Every structure is written in C-alpha cells, then in structure tokens.
Amino acid sequence: MAFFQDPPRLGNQYDEDPMLSAFLARSFGAADLAAIEPELRELGALSGGPLHRLQLADLTNEPVLTQWDPWGNRIDHIELTPLWKEAAKLAATHGLVAAGYDAPLGARARVQQFAKVHVLNPSLDVYSCPLAMTDGAARTLLDSGNQALVERALPRLLARDPATAWTSGQWMTERTGGSDVGLSETVARKDADGTWRLYGTKWFTSATTAEMALTLGRPEGNADGSRGLALFYVQVRGADGRLTPGIAVNRLKDKLGTRKVPTAELTLDGVPAILVGADSDGVRAITPMLSITRTWNAVCSVSGMRRALALARDYAGRRMAFGALLRDKPLHADTLAGLEAEYAGAFLLAFRAVTVLGLVERGNDEADDRLLRALTPIAKLTTAKQAVAVASEAIESCGGAGYVEDTGLPRLLADAQVLPIWEGTTNVLSLDTLRALGKGGAIEAVVADARAHLAQAKDPGLAAPVAAARDALDHAVAWAGGAMGSPERLESGARRVALTLGRSLELAYLSAHAQWCLEHGRGGYAAAAARRFAKHGVDLVDDIDRDDTRALLG
C-alpha cells in the first residue's frame, strides 16, 4: 500500500502553550484567572481547530482591488478574503482591542488582552495588523486630549459589536522613506471655511479597508523636517462604506508575505482632514501609536514562534525517518529544544513590555515610564529577529513539506519576515534604543529591572543562566558608556548593544520565571529553557574594525 504522510495537526493552542498558562498564573490571582481562563481556552480550541482549518482552506485567496464599476465609476473597492471577514467578527466579539481598556482588571487588562491576541493571532493571517493600528489610534486619541475626536471615534474603535466596530489606519510611509518621516511630501491646506485638506501620496497603507486613519501632513508654510508635520484624523469611509472623495487607491502591493493584508498605495487629492492637536510636532503626537504597534509586533512575533513550534513538534511525532520518529532522533530533538528556549525567552520579554505598558497607562510611577521607553524598542527588535530564525528552523525541520506552499508551512516564514521591518527595522530600532537609554534614567531602569528579576532566581540549577545574563548586561552598559564620546563607534555597534540588552533581559526574566515555576510545581520546562538559552549566546557586544567595514563595502 502506498505511503502518505500524516500532516501536522494542532490541539488547543491555550492548553498546549507551556509559557502562557504559567505566566498568567503568576500575573493573576486564582479568582481573576478563573474568570478569564474559560475564554482563553475557548479561543485556544478555535485557533487550533476550525479557524486553522479555515486558514488552510483560505490559503490561496488574497484581497482583490476593483477600481472601476461596469459603468465607469471609480469605486476602489477592496474585497477581503473569507478568513479576514471572519477575523473581523472574532476580533470585535472577543475584544482583541477593547480588552486592553477594560477597567476591572486595571493594569492587568493589557495582559489579558494580549493573551487573547497571542492565542488567536496565528490563525488570523496577520489581521493583527489593522488591530494594532486600531489600538494605537485609540491610545493616541486619548493622549491627544481632543475630546471631540475621542467621542467620535473611541466608542467605535473599542466596540465589541462587529456591526459597529471600526478599524483604523496609520498613514506615514511615503515614497521618500518610511523611517525618516521628516521627508514627508504630504501637504495640508486650509480652505476658507477652515477645513483642512491633504494632498500627497502614501506609499504603504496597511489598513486600507479601515473606517478612519491617523496620518501626517505638513501645513503650508511650516518648516521642513519632522517638527513641521502635523497629525491629522481622516474619515476614510462614509456611512455607505465607500471611500471618502479625495482618496484614490492606486494599487495593492505585491509582497513577500502578509498576503492577506490589503497594503495599498494611495493618492490623497484634497481629502478632508481634522487636526488632532497642534499644527506642528505631529511625530511627537503619533508616538503613542508607535509604542502600541511595536508592542503588538513583539507579541505577534512570539505567537508566530509558538505556531511554528506547535506544527514542527507535532510533525516530529508523525514523521518516521531511518527507523524512528523524528522526535526520538537526538539531533532533531536537540534542534527543537533549542527553538523552545528561544521562544520562552522571547515570550517573557514581549509580555514584560505588555505588563509595563499596562502599568504606565494606569499612571504608576515614573520608573515604569522610563523602563517602558527603552523596553518597547528592545522587545520589538529582539523578538522580531528571533521570530524569523525560529520560523526558518521550524519549516526546515519539516523537510521538503516545509518548502511546499500548499502545506501552509512556508507562510510562517514569509509572514515572519515583516516583523523586523514593520514599525522600524532592526537598525532603526537599535538607534531608537540608544536614544531612549540616553534620556533621564532609562538605562538605570533597564538595569534595575533585570537585576531585580535575576535576584529572584535562587535555585542552584539557575546559577549559570543568572551569571550569563548579569555579565552580558554589565558588558553592554559599560560598552555603551565608553562609546558615548565616539558617535561613529556608538552607531556602528548599536545593533549588537540592543540585541545584547534584549537577550540579557530575556534570560533575566526567564530565570525569575523558572524559579517561580519550580516553587509552584510547574515543572522544569522554564529552568531547562533558561539553561539552554544561556548556551546560545547572550553577549553580542564587540568592537568591529571599521576599516574592515569600509574595505568590505569597497
């Protein structure tokens, strides 16, 4: 009888995650955990069952742009895929944005929110993109103090009824570049009646089907550079669902991954806009959105890692090679164990950023604010690089099947590759990290947080990970301090410093979590992960010969 390989399958994606349940048990008391866990378990079953099956059935579908109707009217209609339509309903019903603003759990509302995102996101084909921007828009409007816009938009952005829920776009990237927004060419002009209108091209807009957007434009007469930009609110669609006049969709982008996301190139030709705050300093005004979206990026990185590992592990229990299951082959088992350790560290770094975000939003002390300022870019850049590496190894562990599109496995890597790019590349975020560390006590806050967690790890089996994290942290801080007098040296080493800080924090958080798990009967998974993680290398700081760099680049 011919052989046919049994494909990998998923179980309940809440119950089968060794990090999430233990982390939530640490974060919530028994009563609060009992209140939130049934929904997470429900989402876990959905994510690993019917939603994953829909995802596979929807694999080849992509959004379709129809620019003209049969009678020659410009309509620019984007038809979403069946999975994305279902994702929109689930996201609203389960409050994937709204839960972060719920009052009863206080600062822990963010932990509950992102726990739901972590469980559900891998089966939503990057619907997290519009959700992240929606969350960022809600936070930005709240922080802006523009009460009229808050009253207009916030009930919709936080709605749990799919019929009334909105998503929001974030339109910053132009042909002149993504990270250097100071080069923006979008012009804002004011009509005689006081209405602002925007003119320009937005090169990447990832939530083109949203109902509203926050965007940057330069009021006529303002200075060049980022300080001359202002933040504007745009109503993207009317009550009939059609695009507001003055917005034209030029095309959808043909991307490596995130194929379900209708990323578009737009022309703005006099679209009405509302000034959110002042008529300058728009980059500063949109900063809360970047903090939120970068946090989403970190959580989606670890949720993608979890999905890749879940499939690779299950496949290892189904695939026979050389007389045994892959999971029983020492080298294969060693490879998967190493990926588990990377996931464990990345998970705790992402959710530490989530935890501190909740504390800052609820108005806790300034130390939390200083910590978050540095922690957000560090978490984003570190977890994103890990996500790509883990996805690559996971699909390789599935052999040829991992390279065949209709298994769904290659999509894990293609979608992961957006994570180090979106909302700031690794290099851009590394420089952001250095800037954050140079401001008012941020470096002291990072060091204090790491050392406080390392101090919790008392078990002798954790001594080596604790020492590795402490030594790497101290080296990174000392090197950065010593390089302050040489801008070229500091900038060229920024990535190595930022990644060392990220990996040091991951190992510190993992060591503390391992201690808690040992004390509370949660087994040795976390302790084993800490020991393995330490062996992968934590300290990446070094001075690279800049003459060699110049020689290599010609």
Q: What is the pLDDT of residues 205-232, one digit of tens each?
A: 988 899 999 999 999 999 999 999 999 9
- Write down the pLDDT at residue 438: 86
Q: What are the beta bridge partners of residue 66?
A: 77
Task: Identify the band that residue 543 occupies on the pLDDT scale cut at 50, 70 and 90.
Answer: confident
CB 306 within 8 A of CB 118: yes
Name the average pLDDT for the chain: 96
SS3 251: strand
pLDDT digits (tens, 9 = 90+) for 398-421: 999 999 999 999 999 999 999 999
Backbone angles phi, psi at 315, to 5 degrees: -60, -40
- Burial label, 367 (beta-carbon count in 10 A; 0-12, 13-18, 19+): middle
Task: Identify the band that residue 440 occupies on the pLDDT scale cut at 50, 70 and 90.
Answer: confident
Q: What is the DSSP letter of 222?
A: P
Long-range contacts of 535-540 (CB under 8 A, 24+ apart): 536/338, 536/341, 536/342, 537/503, 538/468, 538/469, 538/472, 538/500, 538/503, 538/504, 538/507, 539/468, 539/471, 539/472, 539/475, 539/476, 539/500, 539/504, 540/496, 540/499, 540/500, 540/503
> Residue 365 pLDDT > 90, yes or no?
no
Q: What are the beta bridge partners of residue 82?
A: none
> Residue 171 pLDDT > 80, yes or no?
yes
Q: Which of 158, 154, 152 is nearest to 131 (CA)?
A: 158
For the segment 419-440, the average pLDDT, to the nearest whole number, is 93
* Alpha helix ranges (H) inside 362-398: 366-396
The CA distance from 48 to 299, in Å, is 18
Per-residue HEC secondary structure of 411-456 comes to: HHHHHHCCCCCCCCCHHHHHHHHHHHHCCCCHHHHHHHHHHHHHCC
pLDDT digits (tens, 9 = 90+) for 473-522: 999 999 998 988 899 999 999 999 999 999 999 999 999 999 999 999 99
SS3 200: strand
Q: Which of 220, 295, 203, 257 is nearest to 62 (CA)?
A: 257
The CA distance from 339 to 397, in Å, is 11
Q: What are the beta bridge partners of residue 255?
A: none
CB 134 within 8 A of CB 92: no
Single-letter amino acid, residue 130: P
Site of tokens 């609110």: 233
Other Cβ atoms less than 10 A from the Cβ of 502: the count is: 29
For the chain, first and last CA: distance in Å?
60
For the segment 127-141, the average pLDDT, to the nearest whole number, is 98
- Write down the pLDDT at residue 177: 74
Query: Secondary structure of the chain: what % helix, strand, coil (to 5)?
Result: 55, 10, 30
The CA distance from 396 to 464, in Å, is 30
> Residue 179 pLDDT > 90, yes or no?
no
pLDDT digits (tens, 9 = 90+) for 297-354: 999 999 999 999 999 999 999 999 999 999 999 999 999 999 999 999 999 999 999 9
Q: What are the beta bridge partners of residue 106?
A: none
The CA distance from 414 to 103, in Å, is 37
Q: Are strands 324-325 and 320-321 parallel, antiparallel or unpaired?
A: antiparallel
Q: What is the DSSP letter of 174?
A: B
pLDDT digits (tens, 9 = 90+) for 37-93: 999 999 999 999 999 999 999 999 999 999 999 999 999 999 999 999 999 999 999
Q: What is the DSSP letter of 253?
A: -
